[in-house]
Chains A and B, each alone.
Chain A
Amino acid sequence: MSEKTVCIGFLGVAHMHSVSYAANLLRMADVEIVGMWDRSPSLAVDWSQRLGIRRYEQAEQLLDAGPDAVVVCSENALHRPLVELAAGRVGAILCEKPIAVTLADAQAMIERCAAANTRLQIAFPVRFAPAVVELKRRLDAGELGQVFAVNCTNHGSMPGGWFIDPELAGGGAVIDHTVHVIDLLRWFWNAEVTEVYAEVSDSLLHPGLGIDDAGLLSFTLSNGVYGSLDTSWSRPPSYPIWGDVKIEVVGERGAIYLDALHQYVTVASNETGKTQWVSYGSDIDRGLMADFVAMVRSERAPSITGADGLAALAVALAAYESARRGEPVPLENVIPSLNR
């Protein structure tokens, strides 16, 4: 039985996740990628040729083609104008994380989409990692009893490019790597971060970088759990894999150690001159795309909302604020009376 074909466009592809998102959509039945646009003609040409997707010269032309939904995978600072452009023209938008670079931008995007009756989803693919799903199931079942603390890392390699441009990225390692794990913790416990303390440094791991590349967050959640998160771009080029997502939970009845992406074969290659860990784990972007397409096809609300994106961003921004002030920052100061 064939379902109605869902037509999707890409508005901005500067984030490398766009390639995996598109590749997954291309493999899905009854999904068509109608076209793409990026502000950089050279990137647009390269990307569209690589994936065999029609390139539009103007973002408006892509919207005129009438997609059911768009994926916004631009530089962080362009999420707002592109989401605002698409709101009301499509039924749904999938916006790459972080939702935006300021809370005002995030709030404006959420309000615009709500007013235009466009459903806004944020791309947090780690929610679809099978080991993460199992961790959530075990937490939901109460296996640990009362949970005390979480010790988390989302390490990465220094990505370069626009990720280290403060104007386009809104920050470095902290804005890049706070939001994934914070989103997971909020999702696990339906709880909010209430306070953040952070040690953040520019150019600590990469002398001369000019943006934060090392961050350690210490936070409390509204359910009483306290935790930590290392967002550092601390995996050197010589390391066998780009990074990690680890969450260790300790509670009154035991501990659970999650190393979400630790499913790989070890490849020693004279070609690359190093040993690499090559993943055989389930593609988490496939889960994200299937969920998004199912949402586009139905009437239901997104599984990960703009408000989720805003709440995660608020924690990253509070970390920067804490590092500037040298003191813990209550989140209520960062999100005053936000209606969530």
Chain B
Amino acid sequence: MAKVVVVTSGKGGVGKTTSTAALGAALAQNGQSVVVVDFDIGLRNLDLMMGAERRVIFDLINVIQGSANLSQALIRDKRLENLYLLAASQTRDKNALTEKGVLQVISELRKKFDWVLCDSPAGIERGAVLAMKHADIAIIIANPEISSVRDSDRIIGLLDAKTERAKNGQEVEKHLLITRFDSSRAGTGEMLEVDDISDILSIPLLGVVPESKDILSASNLGIPVTLSNKNSTSAQAYSDAAKRLNKEDIPIIIPTKKRNFLAGWFSGRAA
């Protein structure tokens, strides 16, 4: 049974697209068939993150408008044969998405894949609402800062109100993925703590991805970090999060400040 996942946040720039690419690749590495769908019509980025920007001929809007069929628009990843991309249109805007068209595309994708990952645009408008509309699972991306957390809270409210599941009296399964967690600032009070964010949003934690240069270089190379640098801490965090989506029970590691010798000694003494 296919699972439709929306990766959403409300706020922009928190790492939705990066996370969609990394999680999609990680799920595909586990042997499941995955499609990542870019819903950010007019501001597409997922094709860049997947390194497929020169291979986009048809996109989601073409499929919705019937000028291409789904198999023509699906782009197979060059590294993983069970990973596909459905790109957004860069020349159109969000109004080109229709409710009926989205439903049709999602239903078709459900038949073909184990996982359908929808990369939501920022905001709470039409595009974001259509991206979450048919989701069974929502991954809410939040950064450790109050504006991001409040926007995420707003999005959770919308997930409980505007999705098909909510309208049918069911609940969308919600997971919190904290990204851009700066371990050097953890514990200093400059940044919200993981516990505070979990407490405010009161949804289960899927993982904590540290802020890292590996992610930036992976984005620039057009390779999801889970493929480009598998052993990096951020890739590990995404891989673990993907396994948790598959209901594997893996303890969550919260990145902490790298302690120098003395600090370690003192905290060891204090404990």
Q: Report whether chain A binds chain B.
A: no
Residues on B lying within 8 angstroms of A by beta carbon are none
Residues on A lying within 8 angstroms of B by beta carbon are none
